[in-house]
Amino acid sequence: MNTGISLVSALIFILSGCAVLQQHDPLRITLAGIEPLEGKGMEARFAVQLRVQNHTSTPFDYDGIAVDLDVRGKTFASGVSDKRGTVPRFGETVITVPVSVPATAILHQAFELARGDLTKPKADYRLRGLLGGPGLGRGQRFEAEGELNLPAAGSAETRRIP
């Protein structure tokens, strides 16, 4: 009986130790910019730039990233990248991820703009994703929200966003 209790106690101790080792302050991941890329077929392509800040004393190695971008509450773009790198301790880096926007999403946003107030130069966005990490449990999910600056109505000007 004592052996069983000791074994269970040891197992709980080991598992709690692993949990403590896995805990770290979350990375802060924000949208740094969006630039157009050459589209293909019925889709548009953009380079989404993410600023990744590490607020800990331990470097964070990443291995791959996936992102989804919603605009005005609707799915707009998604993309993945197999880039690897390190976010330095108490440092930051910018990761660029190519995303695709299907023609249906572009049309939906165009109709929303046409129905809405064209004088408002901003649109709400929500960015979600996963910054992959090597090893078990090292990846980190993230989410960010904000506003995108839109070109003025009737303007042929192309802007970098935000």
pLDDT of residue 154: 44
pLDDT of residue 67: 97
**Entry pTM:** 0.71
- Assign domain 25-149 to its CATH superfamily: Immunoglobulins (2.60.40.10)
pLDDT of residue 9: 61
CA dist 106 and 84 (Å) reads 31
pLDDT < 70 positions in the chain:
1-25, 112-114, 116-121, 135-138, 150-162
pLDDT of residue 143: 93
SS3 25: coil
pLDDT of residue 93: 96
